[in-house]
Chains A and B, each alone.
Chain A
Amino acid sequence: MTSSAIISYLTFVYFLAFVFYLVMMVMGRRLPGTLATYTLLGSFAAQTAAIILRWQESYALGMGRAPFSNLYESLIFFAWTLVLLYLIVEWRTKNKSAGAFVTPLIFLALAYASFSPNISSKIMPLIPALKSNWLITHVITCFLGYAAFALSFGFSLMYLFKGNDSANNTASFLRLIPARGILDELNYQMVVIGFLMLTLGIITGSVWAHSAWGSYWSWDPKETWSLITWLVYAAVIHSRLVRGWKGRKIIILCIVGFACVLFTYFGVNYLAGLHSYATS
């Protein structure tokens, strides 16, 4: 299949983008940053093409289904949404420093999808439970949510790296990272987008489960873990209302939240449940 070949090559292109961002951060020069952005844009276009190609390939195989139905395809889509969201943030904030923190996640997602022996890139037909119009909306909302939380995680790491503004570090690596106040605000915006998308993801999943399994909520591990993630980020949003809680405490809660996202995504596969088709 051509699409999966393109994806496996792109893994390295994303790694290249990461290297450019890192060089930019370390040397504090403009050029590597520009190169990084163009590399990212180029590989994003190629990845979009690969996803559409995969969709077409499924038609050629007589299945004709959206490429969102197993772990391989979900990782590809997760990487895609993450690039998209990051590019929007970079364009809006005119700051490239988050690239060095986000591109490794993209690279890792694609590398895991393409080179893990446990993940099959074969296009498989849909089992009856997945044959639903809700598949596309459910997957898109969930993964936009995951991507926003991944960016929030990136900003949280940057916040911890940055240290106190008064410490006035001269290293260009830290100088390029925005001030803590800005990071805090960006992080909050990502949490809000993620929280909204996760809520939509849970709702669409719930309505779907109601028609597929007969119950809109059955405490299946994946459902429960998405609720756990929701509760943690609800705590993040509320903690902004507590006086004196801006900053470090919220950042730590955000990192815990992203750990929950990762567990909802991958860890749950080790627990038995109804979502087992997302395992391989």
Chain B
Amino acid sequence: MEEIGKVSNPVWKFFASVKLTIVFLVLLAIFSVAGTMIPQKEGAMEFVQRLNPTTFNLMDFFGLFDLYHAGWFRFLIAMLVLNLVVCSLERFPSAWKRVKARPSVERTKPFEELPDTLLISTERGYQEALGNCLNLFKKRFSAFRSEETEYGTFFLAEKGRFSPLGVYIVHLSVLVILIGALAGSFFGFEGFVKIPEGETVDSIMVRGGNQSLSPGFEIRCDKFTVEFYENGSPKEYKSEVTFLSGGKEIEKRDILVNHPATFKGITFYQSTYEKVAGKELRIKLRKGLDEDLETIDAEIGKKMELPGKEGFFQILDVRHMGTVPAALVSVEIQGAEPTRFWIFEDFEHIKSRLPAQMINSPKFDPAAFKPYTFLLLGVQERYATGLQANQDPGVPVVWAGFILIILGFIVTFFTSHQTIRMFVENKGKKTVIRVTGSASRNRPALDRDIQRLAEDIRSLFAA
């Protein structure tokens, strides 16, 4: 009844075709090639600027700048999966039947027209010969069946009965891997944290969106080190981090490339690093443009009195602008709006590279608060580590799929359903022994085995 339903449904028939599988496989391959030729995602920025708007719009419409996540690409994968499922369902029942089948032991047909090498004739009595053959067969095959008739005894041993199921294990594992990938994209995230040494963060920037999420704990970077080989190539990046919960230290871990750390289901990977400005800096105050007053070791947020006691100043921010260290100075006089301006290290030197309107702006004038000129002598430097922070509940599923696919391949390609038959025939004064067999794959290997079996039997009765 089921069989009839399957055959008459044209959609089912369409998807049950192996030809269709090849079409889908080749199509996926071709489109994947396109994805490696067209710059993708972040890499597409520069490429896109060289396109004319019509081309860009067309390519963007088809998602060609993020091809592997485009709807139609996923649809193609879904079609291949559907094809795989239908093909497997269509063919599984007959494979299962073959696995369950018990070929009858008493069959004379397989023994017809055998080459002489597989046929042994002996003068020994039937019972003796039968006993010898039985012992040999027992030694060779752990499980076999035999059947006695009035003209002789039939033996049948089977190996690798489950071999036809290998293909279905492989197909199942492909499904498992894809389910794992799907689970990851629905329930997981890829994020990033940048933590300067000595600082603590409590949120993760999620990739592919501008929102951040709170993991429910904090991460502090205690120290970051980078080592180089003599030739200048990097040897090791290491972040020493502490995971905290509500300010309380829970666990200290070292994160290195190839050695991520997992805390409360989120895994942190060493990804990048950069040099950032620290909290401490050294500045020099001048009166007018060339009269040195004093050199001060300052710290972000610490208020200091101006030399002439006009009021206070403090450093609000320190950062690198491009590669140049810069500090935001705020001069605060009672009853007046604070005067805020940026000062740069080595200002005379970089001045020439700055645009005119920037130099003329009071925001970048180191002498914006008369009569003083502020000079930035140096900024303490420290590292900030960049950690990839991911959560992917699909990973164990994908790993299971990997193991399954390897198992499936071994069963499919390296096992074979072999049937080995022996027939000991009682011919009165003579006893004739015949061996033969069949295999679902690798017939030559079986032929060698059968040949060996025949030789062993022959040597039993030699002389």
Chain A residues within CB distance 8 Å of chain B:
124-125, 127-129, 131-132, 192, 195-196, 199-200, 203, 206-208, 210-217, 219, 221, 224-225, 227-228, 231-232, 234-235, 238-239, 241-242, 260, 268, 271-272
Contacts and interface: CB of A to CB of B under 8 A. Distances in A.
A219 B35 contact: yes
A108 to B, nearest CB: 24
A234 B167 CA distance: 12
B236 interface: yes
B257 A128 contact: yes
Contact of A242 (B18, B26, B256, B409): B18
B258 A131 contact: yes
A238 B270 CA distance: 41
Interface string B178-222: 000100000000100000000000000000000000000000000
A127 B406 contact: no
Contacts of A231: 25-26, 28-29, 32
B237 to A, nearest CB: 6
Contacts of B37: 271
Contacts of A129: 257-258
Interface string B28-72: 110011011100100100000000000000000000000010000
B413 A192 contact: yes
Contact of B22 (A199, A217, A225, A238): A238
Contacts of B104: none
A196 B235 CA distance: 34
B229 interface: yes
B14 interface: no
Nearest to A219: B68
B340 to A, nearest CB: 40
Query: Is chain A's interface secondary structure helix, strand, loop, or mixed overall?
Result: helix
B269 interface: yes
Given A199-B409, A207-B402, A225-B36, A131 B28 contact: no
A203 B395 contact: no
A127 B236 CA distance: 7
Max chain A CB contacts within 10 Å: which of B29, B259, B271, B405? B29
A234 B23 CA distance: 11
Contacts of A214: 190, 260, 267, 269, 271, 388, 390
B402 A212 contact: no
A128 B258 contact: yes
Nearest to B401: A203
B19 A199 contact: no
Contacts of B413: 192, 196
A125 B235 contact: yes
Contacts of B32: 224, 227-228, 231
Contacts of A216: 395, 398
B231 interface: yes
Contacts of A232: 25-26, 29
17 contacts: A125-B231, A203-B406, A207-B399, A214-B260, A219-B35, A219-B68, A227-B32, A228-B29, A232-B25, A235-B21, A235-B26, A235-B29, A238-B21, A242-B22, A271-B36, A271-B37, A272-B43
A272 B41 CA distance: 13
A127 B234 CA distance: 6
A-B pairs, top 8 by smallest CB distance, nearest first, are A128-B257, A214-B269, A214-B388, A231-B29, A235-B25, A132-B258, A221-B36, A228-B29
A242 B19 contact: yes
A128 B234 contact: yes
Contacts of A203: 402, 405-406
A195 B414 CA distance: 13
A215 B390 contact: yes
Nearest to B21: A238
A127 B399 contact: no
B135 interface: no
